[in-house]
Amino acid sequence: MNLINEWTRKLRYHPYEKWGKDYQDQLNKTVNQSIWRLDYHIQPVTGLLNDPNGFTFFNGKWHLFYQFYPFGPVHGLKSWFHLTSTNLVDWKEEGIRLLPDSLYDSHGVYSGSALAIDDQLLLAYTGNVRNADWERSTYQLGAYMDKKHQINKMETPLVSGPPKGYTTNFRDPQVIFYQDHYLMIIGAQTTEEKGEVLLYKSKDLKDWQFLGPLNFTQQSLGFMVECPNLIFIDQQAVLIFCPQGLDKNELSYQNIYPNTYVIGQSFDERNRTIEHTSPIHNLDSGFDLYATQAFNAPDGRALSISWIGLPELSYPTDQEGWAHCLSIVKELKIKDGQLLQQPVAEQKNLRYKKTALLGDIQNIQNLMANNETNRYELNLNLQEDSRGSLYLFADSDNSHYLALHFDAVHGKIELDRKQLRYPLNKDFGQTRAVTLENHQSIDLQIFADQSVCEIFVNQGRHVFTTRVFPETHDTGIFLAGTTGAYTGDFWTLRSAR
């Protein structure tokens, strides 16, 4: 039995229980044979993963869900897949937890959040419903999960539809406890097709009062805002969101849709404002990050995780019956008015064997001649006069690779995918660059995992996230340049599977 090549609407919305065992067995076999399966990033068992959902701490464990379509690498009838962890690194697959099986989510369980309420976990999500003419209705829904992971959906919606003046592009609720009540933050589109973030309030998680749009910028937000998350860091308000169709005169970006943030001095609920906000910034400087979910954890940290993938784009694993993954978990901090994103401390639990690195940057050299797999952490400090390129996922003669070009003298760093063995979404450009301070050393912390690479620059002031699809022997790490020196560590990492 072959996998499906042409996905009709009928197939995408075929009921879960009607998919045959033979097809599912063949899909599992094909996915498991992929050379691009990951060792410590979250990936779908089969089919498509997209937005992270319900990231929280409950009953002594970290909980995470992702939006899931099990039967192919396409957007179809969505559910939520559940994972748990004790350390934010090793994730146990708990299975599908929210199914599209009710009147209000019959055509898809869409994205949302989670909040621990006493001995239960509230799951707030968007239900998608289509009528016979394929016209959409959207509902903001609630369900409670108990300590044994049993789900009880609420009989009526939290919010039964978009307010007047807004379209059914109304989704991705984040529910938070604020002072003595609850707030719900929702992405929306006006009937004039302008993106906004909406704010609701409730005392009891049942009756929700519409407060209005959240005011946090004078910039236009394109035609739709997805995945808004309001968090607080050092008493400052941070809003992370995905504005679709954002004018590139408002923010310079190259991805089909950006993942962005603003930092404000404070949050004023009465006036629905985030006060004294920064301009809109790109959250990630790479090619493939979207739909970040962040929350204030009980231990005081602000944590985030993101979808590594983008809407409407294709990737080589589409031919193998699976698509996309999630980023490693990051801790968010604010320093000198800038958002820093750093791997959580628990990420060190993956470290297995260390090799110290030291040398001058000249000509070309193989940093790790005996490296056999793209599963590692590479930390490099490049001196303030360094100029050159770092080549990752490289073949033996360094003709196919992912390149990171750096110039510490002029404060430039660029991620370059032009020489990948399998080119990716070339219509959106093959390079991404950021500007650094001149004549300053450059710190790099790089996580490679078979077909994904996350690069943290200068303690998380910038992050580049990218997919890359090498052959199994493309494990070279080369460094070439004209001036400067480097020190660092290379860590082989254990699998989290």
> What local confidence, expressed as pLDDT, does residue 482 receive?
95
Cβ neighbors of 107 (< 8 A, separation 6 or more) are 13, 77, 100, 128, 129, 130, 136
Q: pLDDT tens, 195-220?
A: 999 999 999 999 999 999 999 999 99
Q: Which of 3-7, 19-23, 243-247, 269-273 has the lowest mean pLDDT?
A: 3-7
Closest CA to 483 of 410, 398, 365, 384: 384
Q: Is the pLDDT score of 423 beyond 80?
A: yes
Cα dihedral across residues 157, 311, 393, 285: positive or negative = negative
> What local confidence, expressed as pLDDT, does residue 282 receive?
98
Q: Helices in 138-219 by DSSP H: which ranges? A: none
Q: pLDDT tens, 366-383?
A: 999 889 999 999 999 999
Q: pLDDT tens, 276-289?
A: 999 999 999 999 99
Q: Which residue has the tokens 């009989």?
A: 155
Select which of 22, 25, 39, 51 is catalytic.
Answer: 51
> What local confidence, expressed as pLDDT, does residue 53 receive?
98
Q: Which residue has the tokens 């020190």?
A: 487
Q: pLDDT tens, 87-106?
A: 999 999 999 999 999 999 99
> What local confidence, expressed as pLDDT, does residue 23 receive?
96
pLDDT band at 1 (very low <50, low <70, confident <90, very high): low
Instruction: Tell me whether residue 101 is one of the annotated catalytic residues.
Output: no
> What local confidence, expressed as pLDDT, does residue 420 receive?
96
> What local confidence, expressed as pLDDT, does residue 5 receive?
86
Q: What is the mean pLDDT of residues 443-457?
A: 98
d(CA 108, CA 53): 14
Q: Is the pLDDT score of 2 beyond 80?
A: no
Averaged confidence pLDDT in the chain: 97
> What local confidence, expressed as pLDDT, does residue 262 receive?
98
Amino acid residing at 357 = L
pLDDT band at 457 (very low <50, low <70, confident <90, very high): very high
d(CA 463, CA 446): 10
Instruction: Give the strand order in the sheet containing 375-382.
Output: 351-360, 485-493, 375-382, 442-449, 452-457, 462-467
Closest CA to 474 of 329, 371, 355: 371
